[in-house]
Amino acid sequence: MSVSIQVCIRVRPFSVPNRLGVLMEQTGPSDGEVTLLNSTYTTTRFGFTWSWWSAYGWERNCDERDHADAERMKLVNQDNAYGTVGVLIKKDLMEGNAVVIFAYGLSGSGKTFTVFGPDAIDIPEAWFKHETPHPLWGVFPRLAYDVFKLKEDTWKVILKYFQNVIDTVRDLMSPSCEERTYKEGMRKDEDGFMDILWCQSAMLDDWNHLRSTFKQANSKKAISPTQFNHQSTRGHCIMTLECNMPSPTDPAMRQRGRVYVCDLAGTEPAGDIVYASYSKQKFPDGTVEYKYKGPHPDQTKTKNLQNQGKKINLSLSEMAQFFMKMAGAIKAKKLKPGKSIPGCNSYFLCKYLKDTMLQARTYLFCAIRPEVCVGHNVLCSLAALTVHV
Amino acid sequence: MFVVSFAMPQVKYLQYTFSTLGFAKNASVIKLQPKKASVAATPAERKLMAELDSLKLQLEEMRKLNAQLMASQGDGSMSVEKQAELAKSLAAKADAERKMKAAAEESQAKQDALMKQQMEIAAKIASGDLSAEEKAAMEQEQAKLKEQMAAEKATAQKNVESLKKEVSAIDSQVNSEVWCDCPSIGCLTFSYWLAMPCSLMLGTLRS
């Protein structure tokens, strides 16, 4: 039986005062619609499985002319998100399926927040610092928490976590944070799912074991502040959680349900990216905003980020190309379900993911921003150049 | 000295939003063929699981019997003749269980060999290096092996069932002998010895 990729579009809160760029509506359980506002595009309506408006605090920054539209939209929090999609993912996993959760979008648009929740090691709201469910937990912590509640003594739960930074893979589970070229050890396992053989895995006993293991691994993740995101993930992060359990139908077999959480690095204007400084601002309603102060004085930090950004964009472009070609071939009825097209494996991302996601149940979370544009005040200050003659 | 300022163009978020929606639109068209990953339980795992299941069942039965005994009264004594009869019955039971285990192991070994052959053939088919004729022949071979496996499983099941009946008959005999004369203490002790291997085995399985 063939299925389609389930797509969810989610809008993050405003970061600057601006006109509203999108209208998000959910007309049925799996009928979401996104409409572009204040745009000059000819195509403005897009249909997806889910369309979520999560721009909490929009009243502070949304232009008054758009308040009527903003008021029409129902806010979706982390709990609602899991209640809609997470339960489906849990069912798939418990039935022994491979599930790919895959977050895509502009840098700072809320990909990591959707799949994990806050995950910076230095903040108290980080998901792995909470033993019991927290309102800011993303899809994965809620899923894992539920899995461990169901776990029986005969189950094995195995975690693997790594990050692709430029042309290397960094094993976040390895104590020495081992890095190797991304092509090394990338093989399909006996079921046809891609794996990186040399990356370490950990067998987890319980929820707290997962939290501590993840916390340790996550501290090795490459994150930097840019003008778009105070915690920009500087490479594609892939975490796999395998639930190996006796098959309910055949005692001689064990089913290996697994979830691949792919938190992709964001697309960004790589040439303009800067290593940024931020200040944290708390509001009476409990929300926290990070205000961009300006670029960091150390230019080498900026240079490194720009190099990473270029590679990130190239790999994401390849993924976009892959989807475009696949969609074209499917529309032309030249491709059977689950079959792939040749090529599109020059960068880590496509090479690792393309075959795996075609034989898994794939959920794509696309994160977008609510604003139409960001004015000169955010970026122009970066571009002053003094020339001595 | 001249100061030249470059004004950057505005970052049009809507451009990124539009391209993200385009990406998502293409993705939503793609058809997937999900498949489940599974692995054959190792012989050790299967053996442990089977033993664990049988021990769990026995433990449950014992608990029930224990509850019954606690509700009834016993004088705590057992005659020498009864003890001899009980020992004889228990020896017969142990013998039947040994036979059952040996039959199960023998059948398991055969099944493992068949499974291994099937996996080798599946790997060859999946490699995509075969011509259409070779692939068809492999698939035929695979079907044959599956049939053999099913037949082997059925035979093993039959053997195990008949031996189980034998064990069960002895069990009821033992129960009638014990529960007529023995106090609940024996039952409680037996429950303890069943619970112990259960927990030990779970530790082994996890590792």
Q: Which alpha helices (H) appear in A119-187, and where do they start and end?
A: 139-150
pLDDT of residue B80: 67
A217 Rama class: left (phi>0) / alpha (psi -120 to 50) / beta: alpha
Span A126-155, average pLDDT: 95
Span A29-40, average pLDDT: 92
Higher pLDDT, A272 or B178: A272
Cβ atoms < 10 Å from Cβ of A124: 7
pLDDT higher than threshold 60 for residue A6 = yes
pLDDT of residue A388: 27
Weakest mean pLDDT among A16-25, A102-111, A368-377, B29-38 = A368-377
Chain A contacts of B34, Cβ < 8 Å? Answer: 1, 3, 97-98, 338, 359-361
3-state secondary structure of A226: strand
Cβ atoms < 10 Å from Cβ of A74: 10
Span A18-35, average pLDDT: 93
Chain A contacts of B105, Cβ < 8 Å? Answer: none
pLDDT of residue A207: 97
Q: How much of chain A, in percent, has pLDDT values that exceed 90? A: 64
Q: Which residue stretches of chain B have pLDDT < 50?
A: 1-11, 183-191
**Nearest-by-Cβ selection for B38 from A96, A269, A374:** A96
Span A72-96, average pLDDT: 95
Is B127 within 8 Å of chain A by CB? no
Q: How is residue B72 annotated by DSSP?
A: S
Quote the minimal CA–CA distance from B82 to chain A in Å.
Answer: 40
Q: In whole numbers, what is the pLDDT of chain A averaged over residues?
A: 89
Nearest-5° Cα angle at A274, B17 to A228: 30
Start-to-end Cα distance in chain B:
73
ipTM of the predicted assembly exceeds 0.85:
yes
pLDDT in tens, A308-360: 889 889 999 999 999 999 999 999 988 888 888 888 889 999 999 998 999 99
3-state secondary structure of B186: helix
The half-sphere exposure of A105 on its side-chain side, counting CA atoms within 13 A, is 30
> Nearest chain B Cα to A51, which residue?
B21
Query: A260, A109, A249: which is closest to A189 by C-alpha?
Result: A260
pLDDT higher than threshold 60 for residue A49 = yes
pLDDT higher than threshold 80 for residue A95 = yes
> Nearest chain B Cα to A100, which residue?
B34
What distance in Å separates the CA atoms of residue A335 and residue A227, rounded to the nearest whole number? 41
pLDDT of residue B10: 41
User: What is the fold, at CATH topology level, of the domain defined by A6-378?
Assistant: Kinesin (3.40.850)
Residue A144's pLDDT band (cuts 50, 70, 90): very high
pLDDT of residue A383: 28
pLDDT of residue B199: 56
Indicate if the alpha-carbon torsion angle A160, A164, A165, A169 is positive or negative: positive
Global confidence as pTM: 0.71
Burial class (CB in 10 A: 0-12, 13-18, 19+), A162: buried
Is B206 within 8 Å of chain A by CB? yes
What distance in Å separates the CA atoms of residue A104 and residue A266, rounded to the nearest whole number? 7
pLDDT in tens, A164-218: 988 899 999 999 999 999 989 999 988 889 999 999 999 999 999 999 999 999 9
Higher pLDDT, A87 or A376: A87
Cβ contact A233:A221 at 8 Å:
yes
pLDDT higher than threshold 90 for residue A361 = yes
Q: Where are the domains of chain B?
A: 43-70+79-206
pLDDT of residue A384: 25
What distance in Å separates the CA atoms of residue B187 and residue B174, rounded to the nearest whole number? 12
Query: Can you tell me which residue has the tokens 């370490």?
Result: A200
Look at A48 and B37 and tell me if their CB atoms are within 8 Å.
no
pLDDT of residue B89: 80
Q: Where are the domains of chain A?
A: 6-378
**Nearest-by-Cβ selection for A327 from B1, B30, B40:** B30
Chain A contacts of B38, Cβ < 8 Å? Answer: 96, 191, 247, 253-256
Count of A–B CB contacts within 8 Å? Answer: 225
Higher pLDDT, B103 or A5: A5
What distance in Å separates the CA atoms of residue B178 and residue B157, rounded to the nearest whole number? 30
pLDDT of residue B188: 47
Quote the minimal CA–CA distance from B154 to chain A in Å.
Answer: 14
Chain B contacts of A372, Cβ < 8 Å? Answer: 12-14
Residue B162 dihedral angles phi and psi, to the nearest 5° = -65, -40
> Nearest chain B Cα to A317, which residue?
B23
pLDDT of residue A238: 95
Span A87-91, average pLDDT: 95
